[in-house]
Structure 1
C-alpha cells in the first residue's frame, strides 16, 4: 500500500512540475557577487556562456571568456553535462538549476573533488 502512495505522489509531481526548456537557460545573467554578467546562447548543439561584463579589478576573469556547455535537461529545471573553459583549456562537470528568474551553476573537476558554485539572476 505504501508503495502505491509513493508511486501516486511521484506521478502527481511529474504532472504538475513546470517544464523547463532551453529558452529559460538562454539570456543575460548577473552573477550574485555582482562581479560578472554572462550571455548564454545556443552555439550549435551546445550552449555558450560568454562574459559580457566584468567589474573592473576582478582577478582571473575578462570580457570574452567563454564556457562551451554540453548540457542536457535531466529533469524540469535541471541540466547536467560538461563545460569547457576555452581560454584555460579545462573541462568541468556541470550542473545548472533554474527557477524563478534565477540560476545556480556548479562546476567540478577531479571527479567532484574541487567544485565551485555561483548564483545568477536573470537581467532580462
Structure 2
C-alpha cells in the first residue's frame, strides 16, 4: 500500500487528457459561411441536429426551396425549416453525423467542432474528399 498515493496520482493524471479532449458544445444559432442562412443546432433525443431557421439572402424567385432534392416530391419544400444536420454524436473533440446540402441535393458524412468562442467548423465528406466551412455565431 506504500505505492497507493502514487497510483492514485497516476490515475488522476491519466484522466485529465480525456476531459481536455471532450467535444465542446456546438449548440446555438450559426450563420453559414456564405451568409445565406441561420442554422439552429440543438438536441434531438440523444443526438445533435440542426435546421435552417432563417433565410438571410433573398432570391429573385422568392423563398428558396429544396429544388435539387433527388426525390421529386420534396423539391417544393421550403429550405427555411429544413433539417440539414442529423445524428451528431460526440467523438473525441468533435461531433460526427450527417449533413444535407440543399444546393446539391445530397447528404454527406460530417464533422463539426468549435474553432473558437464564436465559430464552428463544419466539414462534409465523400470518401476522402472533404469541404470545410466556418460558421459564425448569429447575433
Counterparts of residues 42-121 of structure 1 (less than 5 Å):
42-54=43-55, 55-57=57-59, 62-76=79-93, 78-80=94-96, 82-83=97-98, 85=100, 90-98=106-114, 99-109=116-126, 111-113=127-129, 115-121=130-136
TM-score by length of 1: 0.66
- Provide the C-alpha distance between the structure 1 equivalents of 2:47 and 2:18, rounded to a whole number of angstroms: 28
- Provide the C-alpha distance between the structure 2 equivalents of 1:101 and 1:43, rounded to a whole number of angstroms: 22
What is the Cα deviation at residue 63 of structure 1?
Answer: 0.7
- Provide the C-alpha distance between the structure 2 equivalents of 1:101 and 1:28, rounded to a whole number of angstroms: 10
The answer to which of 24-33 and 50-59 deviates more is 50-59
What is the Cα deviation at residue 72 of structure 1?
Answer: 2.0
More strand by share: 1
Gaps of at least 5 residues in structure 1 are 1-10
What is the Cα deviation at residue 49 of structure 1?
Answer: 0.9
Give the 3-state SS of the residue equivalent to 2:17 in structure 1: helix
State the structure with more CA Rg: 2
Aligned length: 109
TM-score by length of 2: 0.60
